[in-house]
A = this chain, B = another copy of it.
Amino acid sequence: MTGSERTVCFVSDRTGVTAETLGHSLLSLFGGVTFHTVTMPFVLDTVQARGVVARINALGEERGVKPIVFCTVVDQDTRAVIKQARALVIDLLSTLLGQLEAELGKQAEVAGVPAMHGATTDPSYSARIDATNFVLANDDGAGARDYRSANVVLIGVSRTGKTPTSLYLALQYGVFAANYPLADEELEAGRLPRMLLPHREKLYGLILKADRLQQIRSERRPGSRYASPQQVQYELRAAQALFDRFGVPYLDVTECSIEEIASRIMDQMALARHARS
């Protein structure tokens, strides 16, 4: 392993998602370094922690460079063991918890096993499952067409990312997201689909740059009219004209990740987040 490569370990007493999310944000600011990441979740006691330390030390020796460890373990004894690893151990909790304890005037409840927010105790769990089922039942304008229960209805031409965005909104935020594909007849008529008219305030449009959409469609149906530059440009122009005419907010998602698309929709549509805790 050269100096421009590093092993990074995410050590957590739960899923490791928090350590991964913050860790990746930080690491993305260091260009030119290749990071090899390993997630070590569900480290619940000092015995398991000693196993983790052995693994971290072995990775360091094998690769000849000190690993970086992002640690989100709550239990102090377990954390103390992890800090003994021959690595830069970045403790994401202790400093921050101290600040919060001072501000809130109470101690964090860090003794023993971390709280598990599971199917039976977390109110947002069923909200997110219900939202996911809603998306699947209302995907691509098919099936249920239950726009009254929807929090948002994504519209756009084929392959602009409506379905993955809807699913992400459901799984991350518990949002009931329907989606409706704009087909030729609607684009030609220059009108919103009649069944969407009563729900105009819930509509949100997605568009892509023409060359990107053409590329995506070509992978799916090479050489087809559907993937031709003329058809793609026509559809995108007509969709944008429709959005402008009916005042539908929309986003060009060409440069956006799914998280960014979802977050912008949440923000612009002022949707309530059924946050996971």
Contact = CB atoms under 8 A, between A and B. Distances in A.
Contact of A256 (B108, B109, B119, B262): B119
Give the interface centre of A41, A119, A273 by most chain B CB atoms within 10 Å: A119
A46 to B, nearest CB: 19
Contacts of A161: 119, 129
A233 interface: no
B29 A110 contact: yes
Interface in A5-62: 6, 14-18, 20-22, 24-33, 37, 39, 41-42
Contacts of A72: 25
Nearest to A122: B257
Given A26-B100, A42-B267, 11 more contacts: A14-B260, A18-B25, A21-B21, A22-B92, A27-B277, A37-B275, A41-B266, A118-B254, A125-B257, A132-B163, A257-B276
A218 to B, nearest CB: 14
Secondary structure dominating the interface of A: mixed
A74 B29 CA distance: 9
Interface in A227-277: 253-260, 262-264, 266-267, 273, 275-277
Nearest to A14: B260
Q: How many interface residues does chain A have, given as a range? A: 35 or more
A136 interface: yes
A90 to B, nearest CB: 6
Contacts of A32: 106
A182 interface: no
Contact of A136 (B29, B104, B163): B163
B277 A24 contact: yes
Contacts of A171: 164, 167-168, 171, 258
Given A21-B18, A37-B275, A120 B90 contact: no
